[in-house]
Amino acid sequence: MQEHIEAVLAFVRVHHAFAAPLVFLLAFGESLALVSLLLPATVILVGVGALIGATGIPFWPIFFAAAIGAALGDWLSYWLGLHYHAQIARMWPLSRHPDLLPRGHAFFEKWGWSGVFIGRFFGPLRAIVPLVAGACVMPRVPFQIANWTSAFVWAGLILGPGAYGLTTVKDYLPF
């Protein structure tokens, strides 16, 4: 896995023009239900943030690509949960834990949009919260407000430290 991460970061370092589309795809995959379990996107995105600080890749296009990709990934996950909630309940991992959907429904009844917002910042929950929100028929507008707001905050937190904070230690970075 480490070889793949290093290869992607080396590609971004050499091909700055492809950084924003690649970051969009990584953030989208990181937020898409169950795909994020297979994709080490967070590590790569943190590395891209460090590359921004070390190589001078423009921050704002990468930031917007990450935020929009993450929000669209959650939007699609929510839509899948909303339209296929009966089938999703029979799929892994929800099929192994039949109490998750009723607990998810109670969670969204209690916390509403703030549960979606906070879920973005916890790795294992990031990919499942929007799916469960859709399956529990959480209202669309509160979901989308939390989705888009949290996506922009998340993008800043995932890319910002490398882009602006690690410039003093860039000589110690392996890429």
Is residue 171 pLDDT above 70, yes or no? no
Instruction: Write down the pTM of the prediction.
Output: 0.84
Mean pLDDT of 95-121: 80
Banded model confidence at residue 60, pLDDT cuts 50, 70, 90: very high
Is residue 165 pLDDT above 80, yes or no? no
- Better pLDDT: 78 or 166: 78
Look at residue 93 in the predicted model and tell me its pLDDT: 67
Q: How far apart are CA 86 and CA 68, in angstroms?
A: 28
- Better pLDDT: 162 or 142: 142
Banded model confidence at residue 128, pLDDT cuts 50, 70, 90: confident
Look at residue 139 in the predicted model and tell me its pLDDT: 92
